[in-house]
A and B are shown apart, each in its own frame.
Chain A
Amino acid sequence: MDYESVIGLEVHVQLSTESKIFSGASSHVTDKPNEHVDPVTFGLPGTLPVLNEKVVEFALRLGLALNCDIRRFNRFARKHYFYPDLPKGYQISQYEEPICGHGRLQFRDGEVTRTVGITRIHMEEDAGKSVHSAERQCSLLDLNRAGVPLLEVVSEPDIRSAREAAAYLRALRQLVRYLELSDGNMEEGSLRCDANVSLRPKGEMKFGTRTEIKNLNSFRFVERAIEYEVARQVAILKSGEPIVQETRLFDSESGTTRSMRSKEESADYRYFPDPDLPPLQIEESWINAVRAKLPTLPQEIFQSLIDDYGLSEYDAAVISAEHEYVRFFLEAQEVCKNPKATCNWITSEIFGALKQHGEQFSELRFSPLQLGQLIALIDQDVISGKIAKTVFEELYASGGSPNEIIERRGLKQITDDSAIREMVKEALRSNPEQVAQFREGNAKLLGFFVGQVMKLSKGSANPKLVNDILLEELKS
């Protein structure tokens, strides 16, 4: 029998606010343990949580970008479980009344466009971090992360393969970065993913029994863990056994998942409305203000790069991957009006140099305007493509005006006929043997002569003129 995979993802997005969700302690990462703590973080009796407005704004931003319905009347709930990294004995979350519901995320999986439903998005606080030492029989707690704001994004079980799950997650990461509400860094835990996986016979509408896989902290692990889990479930079903509903932990060393017996069931969390936090009535005007400030979203930009700027699908995907690439591309091409060349300069020269120097795009020392000017100078035949790379090296190292660099370093292309003719004549004079061979029919030698002339001009002769004049002189 053939089975179909039914996959839904629960993604925790760590928000890049200045302060925590319910207190003014910093939500930034620090190496110093228990540095960003205050009485609210410690959950001391008598403290009151006060909601960070920015968290609601970020939730609205993500909800609107995902076409969700926004809940006007919101409440927070307490989710109880006992673990030392949760000092209060409960996590403040949303339960029956999440801020966003019924949305969808559209994304590309290879050549196809897919849409996955969004069940809900809710706001909650993160827990602290504990380091365990079995040898010394103790755990060490660091509460810096306790109270850092999270949005949990739960998808519908619309995903059908491990690859599609990874594509969904990449699209969600791209979106939260465009919306500037999280850095989306999976390795550092800014984006954390759990996967619900079940199987059903192809054509069947009813869902099978699902398992939940935890601990997926890279795109590759998400894919590998789901592949493993699907294969495991297929084997169980083929042997006629039932699937046990349970939480499983992915082990990245072995690439397998294993059962976690001690996981609480929903009823064990004893959710109830948090009396410390007054409800939120979200006004229409706030929603409209957030909507008005939404940036153009990745899918729209992708399409516009193809339709309005003539980029290939591949190039459009590379440029639209990050908002900063898009901004750079648009500003540079505005100057040179050559989108294709702008794209090539970004994806080969800039990305290449960044990789070589181990630097980030945000660290570039020159502006899109300057790249645009450089490309325009090539297009106007002021410099050759080869010289442009020399100019780019300086631009990359220290920025500056391409025009000024060219003037200062005397890199301007020689487009003066008589000057080039002099150099051509000299090249022919110094290589009489090759001239004879060329005249006897060895046409390939033309390249050799071009090279000689370029050398004489220190690379600054216009190659097309060199070519034309060489042919004239060789034939005369």
Chain B
Amino acid sequence: MTTKANVENLATLSRLLLSSEEKAALTQEVDAILTYVEKLNELDTSNVDPARQVHGVKNVYRKDRLKASQLRDRLLELAPDREGDFIRVPLVINQDGE
């Protein structure tokens, strides 16, 4: 079961600032989701291999060749905010200078 500390940790990792009301609400929501998923654990899967992949394909490579994208300018247009050719985002520096 989720505790409030888990939600706080998730918020920190996701770089989200949550109000205490939001935290309380999210704790309930995440709890409900986990309870639902928890049902899966009732099945005995000890003889089932983990399904990391379903199509059985392996060894897909490309040669080390340049294939310049024609979409560069359109990709940059998708950015919510720009400064010249840079994408501008809210300041992500923290107290560590990282």
A: residues with CB less than 8 A from B are: 17-19, 23-26, 32-35, 37-39, 42, 44, 50-56, 75, 81-84, 130-134, 137-143, 249, 258, 260-262, 264, 268, 273, 275, 277-281
Cα of A283 to Cα of B8 in the assembled complex, Å: 46
Cα of A44 to Cα of B97 in the assembled complex, Å: 29
Determine whether B36 belongs to the interface, using a CB cutoff of 8 Å to chain A. Answer: no
Determine whether B93 belongs to the interface, using a CB cutoff of 8 Å to chain A. Answer: yes
Determine whether B58 belongs to the interface, using a CB cutoff of 8 Å to chain A. Answer: yes
Q: Is the interface of B mostly helix, strand, loop or mixed?
A: loop
> Nearest-CB distance from B42 to chain A (Å)?
22
> Nearest-CB distance from A376 to chain B (Å)?
42
Contacts A50-B62, A280-B59; A34 near B13 (Cβ below 8 A): no
B48: A residues at CB distance < 8 A: none
A/B interface sample: 11 pairs, CB < 8 A:
A18-B64, A24-B65, A24-B66, A25-B66, A26-B66, A37-B76, A51-B60, A52-B64, A138-B83, A264-B13, A279-B53
Nearest-CB residue, chain A, relative to B85: A33
Contacts A278-B60, A280-B59; A139 near B89 (Cβ below 8 A): yes
Determine whether B45 belongs to the interface, using a CB cutoff of 8 Å to chain A. Answer: no
Contacts A24-B66, A249-B97; A35 near B72 (Cβ below 8 A): yes
B: residues with CB less than 8 A from A are: 9, 12-15, 52-53, 55, 57-69, 71-72, 75-76, 78, 83-98
Residue contact A19 to B72, C-beta cutoff 8 Å: no
Residue contact B87 to A54, C-beta cutoff 8 Å: no
**Total number of residue pairs linking A and B with CB closer than 8 Å:** 146
The 10 closest A-B pairs by CB, nearest first: A24-B67, A38-B69, A54-B64, A140-B86, A53-B61, A141-B87, A132-B93, A33-B85, A260-B96, A273-B52
- Beyond the given pairs A50-B61, A278-B60, 15 more chain A to chain B contacts, judged by CB atoms under 8 angstroms and listed by A's residue number, are A19-B62, A25-B66, A26-B66, A32-B85, A33-B85, A35-B72, A37-B72, A133-B91, A134-B91, A138-B89, A140-B83, A140-B88, A142-B87, A278-B57, A280-B58
Contacts A132-B93, A134-B93, A140-B86; A39 near B60 (Cβ below 8 A): no
Cross-chain contact of A139 among B55, B68, B75, B92 (Cβ < 8 A): B92
A18: B residues at CB distance < 8 A: 64-66
Residue contact B69 to A39, C-beta cutoff 8 Å: yes
Cα of A56 to Cα of B60 in the assembled complex, Å: 12
B53: A residues at CB distance < 8 A: 273, 275, 278-279
Residue contact B90 to A137, C-beta cutoff 8 Å: yes
Residue contact A84 to B92, C-beta cutoff 8 Å: yes
Nearest-CB residue, chain B, relative to A268: B13
B88: A residues at CB distance < 8 A: 138-141
A264: B residues at CB distance < 8 A: 13
B85: A residues at CB distance < 8 A: 32-35
Residue contact B72 to A34, C-beta cutoff 8 Å: yes
A83: B residues at CB distance < 8 A: 15, 92
Cα of A154 to Cα of B12 in the assembled complex, Å: 28
> Nearest-CB distance from A395 to chain B (Å)?
37
Cα of A277 to Cα of B58 in the assembled complex, Å: 8
Cα of A279 to Cα of B56 in the assembled complex, Å: 9
Cross-chain contact of A26 among B62, B68, B89 (Cβ < 8 A): B68
Residue contact A34 to B86, C-beta cutoff 8 Å: yes
Cα of A287 to Cα of B88 in the assembled complex, Å: 45
Cross-chain contact of B93 among A42, A44, A139 (Cβ < 8 A): A139
Cα of A409 to Cα of B6 in the assembled complex, Å: 84
A50: B residues at CB distance < 8 A: 60-62
Cα of A56 to Cα of B14 in the assembled complex, Å: 32
Cα of A470 to Cα of B43 in the assembled complex, Å: 106
Nearest-CB residue, chain B, relative to A130: B92
Residue contact B91 to A279, C-beta cutoff 8 Å: no
Cross-chain contact of A261 among B9, B66, B67, B96 (Cβ < 8 A): B96
Residue contact A33 to B84, C-beta cutoff 8 Å: yes
Residue contact B86 to A25, C-beta cutoff 8 Å: no
> Nearest-CB distance from B87 to chain A (Å)?
4
Residue contact B91 to A275, C-beta cutoff 8 Å: no
